[in-house]
Amino acid sequence: MGDKQPEKRTKWDGLDGGGSVSNQNYTPTYAKKTPRYSPKRKVRSFRDLEVYQQTMECALVVTGELVPILNKDKFPMVESVTNCCLGIPLLIAQAHGQRFSDFDKAVATLEGAMQGCNKMVVYLEEAQGLSPNADNSLLDDLMQRYMRVRGKMLRLERSWIKFRK
């Protein structure tokens, strides 16, 4: 009584756009191609800069996860690590603000942020060697992030110089 027969399935039922059920969201594969060039969002403030966002993210990871471990291990340069990682986003914001008033000073400030990235890599390598409880994969990831964002800062500086001319 009321036994329902199992619905018969065909080999076409699992395919996109196939089967007896119409799929309203079907998009043919030729229409799914991504554009070769997609412009980035406009930069309205320093907070829109990718280098600022990434260095801020790194600073939060360092201060939230790494610094407590380094404090526990009595790492001698915890304060230097904290000041350096928090100073990089600040330098990027300053450089962006100075860009139109004193361009040479803005470029010098951005270069200071790049030097801060280099310092952070050195501090992280020292922490890797001196701190037994620090996670090496976390330290390696942070070092790669800082080196990658340093390259992006260099390209940002070059684009500012190109825009200036």
Using one digit for the tens of pLDDT, what is the confidence trace for 111-162?
999 999 999 999 999 999 999 999 999 999 999 999 999 999 999 999 988 9
Would you say residue 61 lies in a domain?
Answer: yes
Would you say residue 71 lies in a domain?
Answer: yes
- Over residues 21-28, the mean pLDDT reads 57
Would you say residue 88 lies in a domain?
Answer: yes
pLDDT of residue 42: 73
Share of the chain above pLDDT 90, in %: 65
pLDDT of residue 86: 97
Would you say residue 134 lies in a domain?
Answer: yes
Cα separation, 81 vs 64, whole angstroms: 12
Would you say residue 82 lies in a domain?
Answer: yes
pLDDT of residue 19: 47
Residue 60 in contact with residue 120, Cβ under 8 Å? no
Q: How many Cβ atoms are within 10 Å of 14's Cβ, its own excluded?
A: 9
CATH number at residue 145: 1.20.1440.60
Would you say residue 27 lies in a domain?
Answer: no
Is pLDDT above 50 for 40? yes
pLDDT of residue 49: 87
For residue 107, what are the domain limits? 46-164
Q: Which of 46, 58, 61 is nearest to 148 (CA)?
A: 58
Residue 161 in contact with residue 104, Cβ under 8 Å? no
Would you say residue 142 lies in a domain?
Answer: yes
Is pLDDT above 90 for 91? yes
- Over residues 36-56, the mean pLDDT reads 80
Cα separation, 41 vs 155, whole angstroms: 17
Number of domains in the chain: 1
Would you say residue 150 lies in a domain?
Answer: yes
